Structures are given as structure tokens and as C-alpha cells.
Structure 1
Amino acid sequence: MANGSATAEAPPPPMAKRDPVSHTLTCKTDQSVKQVTVSVRDAMVFLVGGAGDQERYYVDGPNHNVDYVRDMVDADIEALEIQKSCTTLPLGYNSFMSEEDLERNVIRKIPSCNTAIYIIGHSLGGWNGAHLSAILTERGFKIKILVTLDPVGHGKIVYGISKIYRQVPKPKAQYWVNIRAAAVDWNLSDLVADFGEQWEISEGPNVMGRLDINHADANSMYAHALPGGKSARQIVAESIFKWIKG
């Protein structure tokens, strides 16, 4: 699938470096006390791709659409000089459906219960990523921001052929940005999204945008200005900076 390119405004100025400290912490699901060394503040960004994104989906892919979004997030992290305090990780939309996969691919990757978690999901990854925000919140983790980029998953047919949650997601995040792709000039990716049925969200997100962008162009959606003037990219970068700066 084609991917658009976009350049967003420069992220905020870099923050001062901080030294790591040791302290005791426990997770809701782990009652044992552990002594670990963590940063004063740290963050983890999970980027959940859609069908054919991180792996082949029948005859399509992998297309790596969320990897272009990840490049933007990594560029902002580097500009802020917080590489040691913020990690990004791409996931397939079906990478955490079982308890074993959730533990191996997600929970073990999170440095601590105090880590601020950001979830950016595209297409089927937006649908499953919204579910992931609720799952991790229930397990005691802190979901700072959820970004859903044209989430798809309402269709009965796509549920039958894809490894997605059947129920409509009930996201749990401190802040939610949702973007609906509504391109005037359709391409194949929009037909695929229409087949899977886009999740039409009427309430819940803190910011919602409906953009003239094709479904596959996750990076363009992420960088485009939304109602209020800021893009999802700016909202995420500013939040990470504020959290780590403390």
C-alpha cells in the first residue's frame, strides 16, 4: 500500500538529562517486592500495525505502515534528547491475543509499572490497540495516550478471517486521539478498510479528526493538524516530554 509523507512542526526543546535512581515498586498483578533501577521518568511507545503491516496477511504485505509513524516518534525522541528514557516498539495487530503472547510481546517489554505507556494503533491495530489499552490498565499499568488511526474491525467477515477481538473496544487511557480517514479519492487501501468496516466513533476521544487522507497513510494521519490545531504527533511528543521532565 502507498504511504504518504508529511512533515510536522518541530518538537519542544530538549530537556535536561537526569540520572537514574533505585526504588521499590510493585504491579497490581505482582505482589512481590522488587528492587530495580529505573529512570526518574520513562516512557514506552507501542505502535500496533494493521493487517499486512508487520507480517504477511494472506496475499498482502508486510507493508510496515506503522514503521513510518515510528520513524516520526523516534525523530522526536532524538530531538528531545530522551533516547535513554523512551523506547518504541512495533507490534502486529495479533501479537498479544493470547496470555502467552501478551506476556512475551508486551508486558515483558515494559520496564516497570511506573513507565508511561503510549499506544498508537492503525487499522486493525487501532481496534486491537484500543483493547490493549484496557487490558494493560486493568493490570495496573499507566496508559498516558491512546492514538487510533482509522481503526477497523467492525465487520463480521473481517472478524472471521482475522485475529481480532470481537467486542467493540472500551479504551482506557488518560487521553485518546482518534482519526477517521475519509479520502475523497479512494485507493485500494480505502476499499480494504471499507470491507473490514471502520469503527465509527461518536464519543469518547479527547480529540477526533476526519481527514482527507487514504487509509494506508498512517504517517500522514499522525502528522496532520486536528481540531484544536495540534497533530497527534505534537500531542504525543509534548506529553512524553512533559512526563519525562516531571
Structure 2
Amino acid sequence: MSAYGETVAGGKYLKVRNSNKVVVFFIGGAADKTSYGIIFGPDQNILPAKKNLENKILNRVDYNSYYLGFEEVYDVPSQTNRVEENVLQNLDKNSSIYIVGHSLGGWNGAHLSQILSDKGYNVEMLITLDPVGEGLLVYVGSSIYKNKPHPKSKFWINILADPSTPDGTDDVAEFGVRWKVSSGPNINVKMDINHWNARKMFETIIKDKKSCLNYLYDNIKLKI
């Protein structure tokens, strides 16, 4: 039997995740959740960020988070319903929504913030970690939106990776063309970090002795 969002098993109440009060989407980039081409990934670069937030939230019944690939939030009009299948079915209009996107996932995640806001959903925070997507060639070969995003969220943090010692992942990011955001974010910072390291971008202090993780967690605490 169940009551008040909890399930009885063996005479004890066990917490179950059955509320969409707070929903966080972690959206990976190329070769993150699935392979990219025939030789790259999956590398799961954004997954440690998701796990670190969940370690702070613990097993709250009013919190859910989802790990998606950038292609899973890309819709082709009249052809696909990926946003409906992977995002909307996990929400209701009372949900407080948070989006964390890395690389191509930052680009598509920014688009997702606009899509959800235009549909009347409440996007509390958008975090874009070294977003990539302005290159024509990467658009042709990837499931990303062609036009530059116009994010819609109550608070937006953008991180631009600007490493002093670039590696191969930075070469890939430059090929895809980093989205160098000049205006819009509430916090917009550069970091001496390689492109692949979404976890470090997420956890490095950026302002007021707080990281993206801290800003996200502190905001979520107000909701649950």
C-alpha cells in the first residue's frame, strides 16, 4: 500500500520518487551518452555532475533528474517527438525545471529552455558548460538546432572553456565552433579548463564563493 508519496513494504515506509516538483535535465554533448561517429565515446562526461548533485539532494521524493544525450532533445518538425518523449512526459506545469548542458548539449539545452518556456513551463535555471554548435559542418553532421539559441530561464550561468594547454577535445570543440556568449547570462565566465571536463566546470568556484553546483543546489533547496 502507499500513502503520502511513500510505499509500505515489510511494515515500513520506503521513499519512492513519484513527484515532479523539481526536475533536472543533464544533457551531454557529442560522444557523451552514445558514441559519435564510429570511434568516439560514449565518454559520459556530464554524468559525474549529475551524480554529485544527487549526492547532495539524497533521496528526496520531490526531486528527479534525467541524463540525456543532446540528440534526445532535438526535434525535427513533423518528423520526431523527442522533446515529448524524453522531456515533457517527465514534467507537469507545476514543475521547477533545471537544465545543465555540456558542449552540443549546452547548445540544444539552451534551445530546450526556450521551447519549454514558450509552452508555459517554469525553467528556473539553465547552466551551459562550454556550449558548442555554431559551426555549419557540425550542424550538418549532428542532431542540433541550426539557429543560435535564445535561452529563456530565470537564471542562466554560462561557462566558456579557455584552456592554456588545449587538448584533443578542445580541437573538437573548435571544429564545432564554441558558442561564445557575449550577453544574456546572469553569470558568464571563462575557465582554464579543457573542453571534456564538464565535472570541473560544474564544481569550480565562479562567484561569491559558489560553483555551478552550489548555485543549482541552493536554488533547488528553496523548492523541496
2:76 equivalent to 1:96 = no
Question: With structure 1 as the length reference, what TM-score do the two structures score?
Answer: 0.80
- 8 Å CA contact retained: 1:45, 1:118: yes
Answer yes or no: is the 8 Å Cα contact 1:181–1:210 preserved in 2: yes
Q: Is residue 28 of structure 2 the alignment partner of residue 55 of structure 1? A: no
For structure 2, the residue ranges without an aligned partner over 5 or more in a row are 6-17
* Structure 1 residue aligned with 2:11: none
Structure-to-structure mapping, 1:54-133, within 5 angstroms: 54-58=33-37, 59-78=39-58, 83-98=60-75, 99-110=80-91, 112-133=92-113
Aligned equivalents of 1:51, 1:44: Cα separation in 2:
23
Normalised by the length of structure 2, the TM-score is 0.88
Q: What SS does the corresponding residue of 1:145 show, helix, strand or coil?
A: strand
C-alpha deviation, 1:208, in angstroms:
1.2
Percent identity between matched residues is 38
CA distance in 2, matches of 1:143, 1:242: 14
Deviation of 1:229 after TM superposition, in Å, equals: 2.6
Q: Number of residue pairs matched?
A: 204
Kindly state the Cα deviation for residue 96 of structure 1 after the two structures are TM-superposed: 2.3
Q: Which amino acid in structure 2 is aligned with residue 228 of structure 1?
A: D
Query: What SS does structure 2 have at the residue aligned with 1:191?
Result: helix
Instruction: Specify the code of the residue in structure 1 equivalent to 2:70.
Output: Y
Alpha-carbon separation, structure 2, partners of 1:235 and 1:183: 23
In the TM superposition, residue 227 of structure 1 has moved relative to its aligned partner by: 3.1
- Report if aligned partners of 1:208, 1:227 keep a CA contact under 8 Å in 2: no
Q: Give runs of aligned pairs for residues 141-156 of structure 1, distance below 5 A.
A: 141-156=121-136
3-state DSSP class of the match of 1:134?
A: helix
2:15 maps to which residue?
A: none
Mapped contact 1:189–1:215 kept (Cα < 8 A): yes
Secondary structure of the structure 2 residue equivalent to 1:95: helix
CA deviation vs aligned residue, 1:163-193 (integer Å, no higher than 9, x gap): 1001000000000000001111111111110
Correspondence list, 1:219-230, <5 A: 219-230=199-210
- Is 1:188 equivalent to 2:168 in the alignment? yes
Q: Distance in 2 between matches of 1:201 and 1:105?
A: 27
**Aligned partner letter, 1:91:** L
Quote the Cα distance in structure 2 between the aligned partners of 1:187 and 1:233: 25
In 1, are the aligned partners of 2:27 and 2:99 still within 8 Å (CA)? yes
The list of structure 1 runs, each at least 4 consecutive aligned residues, that deviate by more than 3 angstroms after superposition, is none
Cα-Cα RMSD: 1.4
Determine which of 155, 159, 164 is the counterpart of 2:139.
Answer: 159
2:190 aligned with 1:210, yes or no?
yes
- Structure 1: 5+ residue stretches without partners: 1-18, 21-37
* Alpha-carbon distance, 1:101 to partner: 1.2
TM superposition shift of 1:230: 1.3
Given residue 99 of structure 2, which amino acid in structure 1 is its aligned partner?
A: I
Q: Is the Cα contact below 8 Å between 1:52 and 1:62 reproduced in 2?
A: yes
Cα distance, 1:228 vs structure 2: 3.2
After superposition, give the CA deviation of every residue in 1:130-179 in whole Å (9 maximum; x if it has no partner): 00000011111100000000000011111111110010000000000000
Q: Indicate conservation of the 8 Å contact 2:73/2:109, yes or no.
A: no
CA distance in 2, matches of 1:200, 1:226: 17
CA-to-aligned-CA distance 1:40-62 (integer Å, 9 cap, x gap) = x8200000000000101002010
1:126, CA displacement in angstroms?
Answer: 0.1
